[in-house]
Amino acid sequence: MFGQSLAQELEYRGISRRDFLGFCSSMAAVLGLPAAATEAIAAAVENEARPILVWLEFQDCAGNTESFLRATHPTVADLILDSISLNYHETIMAAAGHQAEGALKDTVRDNQGKYIALVEGSIPTGADGAYCTIGGRSALEIAREVCGGAAATIAVGTCAAFGGIPAAAPNPTGALSVADAVPGVKNLINMSACPANAENITALIVYYMTLKRWPPLDRYRRPLFAYGKSIHDNCERRAHFDAGQYVEAWGDEAHRHGHCLYKMGCKGPATSQNCPVVKWNEGTNWPIGCGHPCLGCAEPNFWDTMTPFYKRLPNVAGFDVGSWVDPVGLSLTGLAAAAAAAHGIGEISRARLGKRPSVEEKAGSE
């Protein structure tokens, strides 16, 4: 699976050692590793070689592809894009038709059990597979063959991870997640969200190259480094929630001053992702930072369980506490609420809001 060493890449690309270490340092931060890990990441990325990737698009909108193109640290992101050998990606690749199919076929044949498959979009099972064909073959047939021969499969975005919008009720095409459509694939990792954040996709690849294993996952097979905490727990507006300061109408004083969006329907308490920490588009902003509630897009079946989007989540611990608590007790109450939120809220709301997917039972694993 490994080709050329990356040390030479640095030289070819005129990237200074300092820039490179800067990149490794921010990767360590994304992965939640101590500062000392920077050197280890640098050593790993330099000495190891280039994993072969194939990126499949099925019932998708290409949003995850576009997200991937927004990966930050521009110069070094170029390095990473080129340092993996991306042998198939319909949106980017120069070849088309038979030549494109040939690239995929050769890669799968010559690298059995060694390449990494990334899947974007859900996989339809209705109409004998005719709801999505590529080169005359059904998405399901392609997924079985390509994911079946991969060292690992990364389901990028909520459609591939959990079925996403095509699988939302009434699921007109029988759309399934990778886990449900192709049970038993090796090392399946779900990078959910709509779309998945480029920082997290890149971090996952660096994690693998650095530590030579795949990261620990939560019960939905999502890496803990990106999905280990709720939006609510890391939210910059959390203090306003604890203090009972809520936006009541769009554009009101509270809204203009960054108060809590819970009453406007925010799904942050029921959603696990690192948006508040990593943010989007070179760390520029994130939805709550832009005054709009979280939609819960990293969660299974969010199109059905988190809607109506502007309806308040039921039973969130700590809601409205601040309106009556005395100033001295505030911080303690806040801590208690934070603990409750961290341990139970996601569960409660999911149980109340609807069904959960069969991802865990059906996914293969090592």
Partner 1 sequence: MAHIVVDPVTRIEGHLRVEAEVEGGQVTQAWSSSTMFRGIELILKGRDPRDAWAFAQRICGVCTTVHAIASVRAVERAIGAIPPPNARLLRNLIMSAQVVQDHVVHFYHLHALDWVDIVNALKADPAKTSSLAQSISDWPLSSTTYFTGVRDRIKAFVERGQLGPFANAYWGHPAYRLPPEANLMAVAHYLEALDWQRRFIRIHAILGGKNPHLQSFLVGGMATPVDPDSQDALNMETIAALDKLVSDGVKFVSQVYLPDVLAVASFYKDWASIGAGIGNYMCYGEYPLDDGEKPELMLLPGIIRARELSKVESVDQSHVSEWITHSWYEYSVGDEKGLSPFEGETSPHFTGPKPPFERLDVGQKYSWLKSPRYDGAPMEVGPLARMLVAYASGRPARVKELVDLTLTKLGVGPQALFSTLGRIAARSIEALVLVESMDRWVRGLADNMSRRDYAIQDNSKWDPSTWPSECYGAGFHEAPRGSLGHWVHIKNGAIVNYQCVVPSTWNAGPRDAKGQPGPYEAALVGTPVANPEQPLEILRTLHSFDPCMACGVHVVDVTKRDLARLRVS
Q: Rounded to the nearest whole angstrom, what is the least distance from the CB of residue 362 to partner 1 in the complex? A: 22
Site map for partner 1, 154-173, x if CB under 8 A?
A: ----------xxx-xxxxxx
What's the rounded Cα separation, in Å, for the pair 297 and 306? 9
Q: Does 22 bind partner 1 (CB under 8 A)?
A: no
Mark the segment that binds partner 1 (CB under 8 A) among 3-11, 179-187, 209-217, 322-330. 3-11
Mark the segment that binds partner 1 (CB under 8 A) among 36-44, 100-108, 338-346, 355-363. 100-108
Strand order across the beta sheet in which 52-57 lies: 85-89, 52-57, 116-120, 152-156, 188-191
What's the rounded Cα separation, in Å, for the pair 163 and 161? 6
Residue type (1 letter), 192? S
Q: Does 131 bind partner 1 (CB under 8 A)?
A: yes
The token pair at 212 is 């030579």
Q: Which of 138, 190, 192, 273: binder of partner 1 (CB under 8 A)?
A: 138
Mark the segment that binds partner 1 (CB under 8 A) among 32-40, 218-226, 274-282, 329-337. 274-282
Q: Which of 34, 35, 36, 94: binder of partner 1 (CB under 8 A)?
A: 94
What's the rounded Cα separation, in Å, for the pair 79 and 167? 36
Task: Say how far residue 191 (Cα) sits from the centre of its chain.
Answer: 3
Q: Which of 1, 110, 113, 135: binder of partner 1 (CB under 8 A)?
A: 135
Omega prior to 308 cis, within 30 of 0: yes
**Angstrom distances, CA of residue 261 to CA of 84, 186, 349:** 40, 40, 17
Measured from the CB atom, the residue of 3 and 344 that comes closer to partner 1 is 3
What's the rounded Cα separation, in Å, for the pair 40 and 125? 44
Q: Residue 310 burial (CB < 10 Å; 0-12/13-18/19+)? A: exposed
Q: Rounded to the nearest whole angstrom, what is the least distance from the CB of residue 117 to partner 1 in the complex? A: 15
Strand partners, 120: 57, 156
Q: Which of 98, 343, 352, 355: binder of partner 1 (CB under 8 A)?
A: 98
Residues 46-85 that bind partner 1 (CB under 8 A): 50, 57-67, 69-72, 74-75, 78, 82, 85
User: What DSSP assignment string belongs to 190-241?
Assistant: EE-SSS--HHHHHHHHHHHHHHSSPPPB-TTS-BHHHHSSBHHHH-TTHHHH
What's the rounded Cα separation, in Å, for the pair 310 and 264? 6
Site map for partner 1, 189-208, x if CB under 8 A?
A: -----xx-------------
Q: Does 255 bind partner 1 (CB under 8 A)?
A: yes
Q: Does 263 bind partner 1 (CB under 8 A)?
A: no
Measured from the CB atom, the residue of 285 and 365 that comes closer to partner 1 is 285
Residue type (1 letter), 197? N
Q: Which of 12, 39, 47, 358: binder of partner 1 (CB under 8 A)?
A: 12
The token pair at 115 is 């390449």
Token pair 């030289």 is found at 11
Total chain residues near partner 1 (CB under 8 A): 96
Q: Which of 47, 91, 112, 331: binder of partner 1 (CB under 8 A)?
A: 91
Could you say which DSSP state residue 139 is in?
A: H
Q: Rounded to the nearest whole angstrom, what is the least distance from the CB of residue 222 to partner 1 in the complex? A: 19
| Count of CA atoms in the C-beta half-sphere (13 A) of 34 | 1
Q: Does 89 bind partner 1 (CB under 8 A)?
A: yes
Q: Rounded to the nearest whole angstrom, what is the least distance from the CB of residue 324 to partner 1 in the complex? A: 25
Site map for partner 1, 278-317, x if CB under 8 A?
A: --xxx-xxxxxxxxx--x-------x---xxxx-------
What's the rounded Cα separation, in Å, for the pair 256 and 208? 42
Site map for partner 1, 208-247, x if CB under 8 A?
A: ----------------------------------------
